[in-house]
Structure 1
Amino acid sequence: MSLDINTPERVTTTSQAYNAVLTAILDGSLKSGQSLSLKGLSDSLGMSAMPIREALRQLEGIGVVEIIPHRGARVRPLSLDDLVDTYDARIPLERALIRRTAARMDDATAARARAALDRQADALATGNFAAARSAHEDFHLTLYRAAESPWLFRLCKQVWLNSERYQALTMTEYAHVHERRLEHQAILEACQSHEPDKAEKALERHLTRTVTFLSSAMANEHVEVEHRTLTSRAP
């Protein structure tokens, strides 16, 4: 296994290990339920086990890794229950954030958000799903930072990261991608026109459709069966 740490220097810190493992989980390089061997991660990242162990504890804290006593760590398995629970938490937080953003929106924020949408479209066109996921994150988080609510943003970011693990299930579905692009544009336009009610409704519609589509994709791919199998054996 090889993880991209996006730096020419040797990785020596917990934060670098955290970012490398988290990115691999979100991009699907580390799969649902996959065992996370300290030795394997140490070899891949070129660092001792100590910072990796701490990084895994931090990743467990945000819900993307499981550490099972005497058995080791693994990527927390995807499940329909987790997906629904995650979006039940996401939607109220993001509705509150987008309302604040719509009231405060400026041209610089709008330009950054639109540039992120363009990067996502370009990345999807070339099959670079890791870059597409990153651009998608940039779009939403650019809008939420503009809300100027540090606590709402902190809470939202944690739930957001878990929900992003599910996006790989739909990245290759053209109809879904096209619909999401139109929904993103509607959210952005409502924010630019300073219409909190319209922005909130556009966002809620977007998130509700997304979780419905993801639920269908999971059912088609038998993710819940995989989940039961993975949790019945040691990592």
Structure 2
Amino acid sequence: MSLDINTPERVTTTSQAYNAVLTAILDGSLKSGQSLSLKGLSDSLGMSAMPIREALRQLEGIGVVEIIPHRGARVRPLSLDDLVDTYDARIPLERALIRRTAARMDDATAVRARAALDRQAEALATGNFAAARSAHEDFHLTLYRAAESPWLFRLCKQVWLNSERYQALTMTEYAHVHERRLEHQAILDACQTHQPDKAEKALERHLTRTVTFLSSAMANEHEEVEHRTLTSRAP
């Protein structure tokens, strides 16, 4: 496993470790439930165990890592219950944010959000799923920053990071990707025309459809794993 620690200058080694491990979790390089060895991470990142240990504590704080006493750390496993709980938390926060954004949307924010959608489409077309995930994050968070609500944004960002771990399940599904692009465009259009009610409804529809699609993808993946297990045990 190779982790990228290219980060801005004058950041702490703990911040470097935090960003590198978080990115690896979000892009799937570190898998659901995977053990996080201090020695392995130290070797990959080229730093001592101390900042990595602190980074893992911080990642536990945002819900993407589990630290099990006397056993070590692991990537927190994906689960249907966690997915639903995450979106139950996301939806009211993001509804509040998008209403505020729609009321005060400016041209500069619209340009940045549209550019993020274009980058996502280009990345998906070339199979660069890490770049597509990053552009997807840029789109939503660009709109939410424009709400000018530091507390809502801070709470939303934490829940958002956990939900992003599930996106890889559907990133390559063309029908879902196409529908998601239309849903994103509807959210942006409503914000640009300063229609909070319409923006809120478009966002809620988008998030509700996403969690339904992800739930189905998780169920299908579980069935495939069970089928492979039964097949491997067959005489």
4+ residue runs over 3 A deviation: 7-12, 223-235
Q: Is the 8 A contact 1:71 1:234 kept in 2?
A: no
Task: Tell me, in whole angstroms, the C-alpha distance in 2 between the residues paired with 1:61 and 1:115.
Answer: 32
Task: Tell me, in whole angstroms, the C-alpha distance in 1 between the residues paired with 2:46 and 2:96.
Answer: 42
Partner of 1:116: 116
What is the CA deviation profile of residues 18-60 of structure 1, one whole-angstrom value per residue up to 9, with x for unaligned ones?
0000000000000000000000000000000000000000000
- Quote the offset at 1:234 in angstroms: 27
What is the CA deviation profile of residues 176-199 of structure 1, one whole-angstrom value per residue up to 9, with x for unaligned ones?
000000000000000000000000
What is the CA deviation profile of residues 49-83 of structure 1, one whole-angstrom value per residue up to 9, with x for unaligned ones?
00000000000000000000000000000000000
Deviates more, 1:151-160 or 1:12-21: 12-21
Seen in structure 2, the aligned counterparts of structure 1 residues 11 and 233 have a Cα distance that, compared at 3 Å, is farther
Q: Secondary structure at the match of 2:232?
A: coil
Task: Tell me, in whole angstroms, the C-alpha distance in 1 between the residues paired with 2:144 and 2:230.
Answer: 35
Q: Secondary structure at the match of 1:127?
A: coil
Q: Is the 8 A contact 2:7 2:16 kept in 1?
A: no
Task: Tell me, in whole angstroms, the C-alpha distance in 1 between the residues paired with 2:91 and 2:79.
Answer: 18
- Quote the offset at 1:224 in angstroms: 11
What is the CA deviation profile of residues 196-221 of structure 1, one whole-angstrom value per residue up to 9, with x for unaligned ones?
00000000000000000000000000
- Quote the offset at 1:5 in angstroms: 1.8
In structure 2, stretches of 5+ residues that fail to align are none
Partner of 1:91: 91
What is the CA deviation profile of residues 86-140 of structure 1, one whole-angstrom value per residue up to 9, with x for unaligned ones?
0000000000000000001000000000000000001000100000000000000
In structure 1, stretches of 5+ residues that fail to align are none
Deviates more, 1:214-223 or 1:115-124: 214-223
Q: Which has the higher contact order (CA 8 A, sep 6+)?
A: 1
> Normalised by the size of structure 2, how large is the TM-score?
0.93
- Quote the offset at 1:6 in angstroms: 2.5
Q: Is the 8 A contact 1:32 1:76 kept in 2?
A: yes
Q: Secondary structure at the match of 1:232?
A: helix
Seen in structure 2, the aligned counterparts of structure 1 residues 37 and 180 have a Cα distance that, compared at 3 Å, is same
> Normalised by the size of structure 1, how large is the TM-score?
0.93
Seen in structure 2, the aligned counterparts of structure 1 residues 232 and 113 have a Cα distance that, compared at 3 Å, is farther
Q: Secondary structure at the match of 1:147?
A: coil
- Quote the offset at 1:233 in angstroms: 20
Task: Tell me, in whole angstroms, the C-alpha distance in 2 between the residues paired with 1:28 and 1:217.
Answer: 16
Task: Tell me, in whole angstroms, the C-alpha distance in 1 between the residues paired with 2:170 and 2:137.
Answer: 15
What is the CA deviation profile of residues 137-158 of structure 1, one whole-angstrom value per residue up to 9, with x for unaligned ones?
0000000000000000000000
Seen in structure 2, the aligned counterparts of structure 1 residues 9 and 144 have a Cα distance that, compared at 3 Å, is closer
Partner of 1:213: 213
- Quote the offset at 1:8 in angstroms: 9.8
Q: Is the 8 A contact 1:187 1:203 kept in 2?
A: yes
Task: Tell me, in whole angstroms, the C-alpha distance in 2 between the residues paired with 1:231 and 1:70.
Answer: 35
Seen in structure 2, the aligned counterparts of structure 1 residues 121 and 93 have a Cα distance that, compared at 3 Å, is same
How many corresponding residue pairs?
235
Seen in structure 2, the aligned counterparts of structure 1 residues 203 and 48 have a Cα distance that, compared at 3 Å, is same
Identity of aligned residues (%): 97
Seen in structure 2, the aligned counterparts of structure 1 residues 232 and 137 have a Cα distance that, compared at 3 Å, is farther
